[in-house]
Amino acid sequence: MSYKLEKPYTNKQYADFVVEHNHKKKRLIVETEDTIYALEANEILDENGNVIINPNYEAELAQKERERLNQLSLTAADVERAIYKVKGMDFEDLIKIVEQKTLSESGNPSSIDIKALKIELNANNFYRGNPYIEQVGTMLGFTTEQLDRFFETKDYIELTK
């Protein structure tokens, strides 16, 4: 539920409104010519200045969460150790699997560039948003959710659930 403060108001009323609703309650402050609104996270002002529920709110939240997850990182050692503990293989074994998969696809080239993958596997840090994480993870039988939880918790056990 949004809150509003309409003109005329004093500087103190304005400051108290902002402190109460933005600083304390984390509402978004939006100012128009004659009104200050304190909006909940799922509210926006429409083109007529009416407070409405943002129809894109869930999609925007999901996008922000995906962006946050994509920035999570693990060291190369964390990733290789997890693959070893869960699948019994290291990065060399992984490269062999990718190469075999490429050859067994009836002449269709794999969507994974093996040379580029080898370069990625030499990186110090692995970011969840790197497309190779999803591609190789899927090839190893991991779901997107398992990979997200693994990067979030840094616990290889998440790859077994």
The helix (H) or strand (E) run that includes residue 63 is helix 57-70
Please list the residues that pair with 51 across neighbouring strands. Answer: 45
- In this structure, the answer to whether residues 78 and 126 fall within a common structural domain is yes
Same domain, residue pair 154 and 125: yes
Is residue 65 domain-resident? no
- Domain assignment present for residue 60? The answer is no
Q: Which domain holds residue 16?
A: 3-55
**Does 78 share its domain with 25?**
no
Per-residue pLDDT of the chain (161 residues; tens, 9 = 90+): 899 999 999 999 999 999 999 999 999 999 999 999 999 999 999 999 899 999 999 999 999 999 999 999 999 999 999 999 999 999 999 999 888 876 665 455 557 888 999 999 999 999 999 999 999 999 999 999 999 999 999 999 999 99
Q: Using CA atoms, how far apart are residues 151 and 159, in angstroms rounded to an integer?
A: 10
On whether residue 66 sits in a domain, the answer given is no
Number of compact structural domains in the chain: 2
Q: Are residues 153 and 96 in the same domain?
A: yes
Give which of 25, 56, 55 is closest to 39, Cα–Cα.
Answer: 25
Instruction: Decide if 39 is inside a domain.
Output: yes
43 and 119 fall within a common domain: no
What lies within 8 Å, CB to CB, of 91 at 6+ separation is 80, 83, 121
33 within a domain of the structure (yes/no): yes
Within 10 Å of residue 114's Cβ, how many Cβ atoms? 14
**Domain identity same for 10 and 77:** no
Q: Whole-model pTM above 0.95?
A: no
Q: Which residues of 123-147 are buried (b: 16+ CB within 10 A; e: fewer)?
A: eeebebbeebbebbbeebebeeebb
